[in-house]
Amino acid sequence: MVKIRKALDHERDMIREQRVKAYEEHAQIIPETHWNALRKAISSDADEQINVEHLVAAVDGEIVGSVALFPAKSDAYEGLVDMLDYPEIRMLAVTPHSRGKGIAELLIKECILRAKISNSKYIGLHTGEFMKTAMRLYERMGFIRMPQFDFQPANDGIIVKAYRLSIDL
């Protein structure tokens, strides 16, 4: 049984390390400069901004996934994209041994629920164009592309694609 809960303060460093391990598979398919930028972003303390919610998925007490939910109008991407009028899902990660079990979807659904509770009309996210499995999940869940909010973090031609979901209030 998967339990979604708020992360505890003492778990944050472990969660950042787990994120890097979850994303490491991409290091083999993207340029080293892009991997370095991605690794820096997912292990940074950018998620320590005010009102960022840290959520984890736990199975039998073991954390197997995590996500950061940035509030609307926050600098979720350290100046790389305009501050948006809706919450942003960031740094979604599931441990390799726990993939394919719906954990990412559960974390996303919890973020959507929290955005809905805060009366947001939308929720957004960004993902690297090389994260094909993630994009399929987002599109299956109803997220639509918002190319006007795309950006290139490493100026290497690799696009970080923006998505947004309309929330029925």
pLDDT of the residue at 79:
57
pLDDT of the residue at 75:
66
pLDDT of the residue at 80:
53
Better-predicted residue by pLDDT, 159 or 168 = 159
pLDDT of the residue at 157:
87
Q: What's the structural domain count of the chain? A: 1
Mean pLDDT of 150-166: 90
Range of the domain at 7: 2-119
Q: Does position 169 have pLDDT exceeding 90, yes or no? A: no
Residue 161 lies in a domain: no
Residue 40 lies in a domain: yes
Mean pLDDT of 77-96: 82
Residue 145 lies in a domain: no
pLDDT tens sequence across 26-77? 999 998 988 988 898 888 887 888 899 999 999 999 999 999 999 988 865 6
The C-alpha angle 122, 48, 141, rounded to 5 degrees, equals: 30
Q: Does position 154 have pLDDT exceeding 90, yes or no? A: no
Residue 81 lies in a domain: yes
Residue 146 lies in a domain: no
Going by the DSSP 8-state scheme, the letter that residue 148 receives in this structure is G
Instruction: Report the alpha-carbon distance of residue 106 to residue 83 in Å, rounded.
Output: 26
Residue 165 lies in a domain: no
pLDDT tens sequence across 104-153? 999 999 999 999 999 999 999 999 999 999 999 999 999 999 999 998 88
Q: Does position 83 have pLDDT exceeding 80, yes or no? A: no
The region that residue 141 occupies, defined by phi over 0 for left and psi between -120 and 50 for alpha, beta otherwise, is alpha
- Kindly report the CATH number assigned to the domain that includes residue 31: 3.40.630.30
Q: Which of 58, 76, 75, 72 is nearest to 15 (CA)?
A: 58
Residue where the block lists tokens 């991997």 = 35
Alpha-carbon Rg for the chain, nearest whole angstrom, is: 15
Residue 87 lies in a domain: yes
Residue 52 lies in a domain: yes
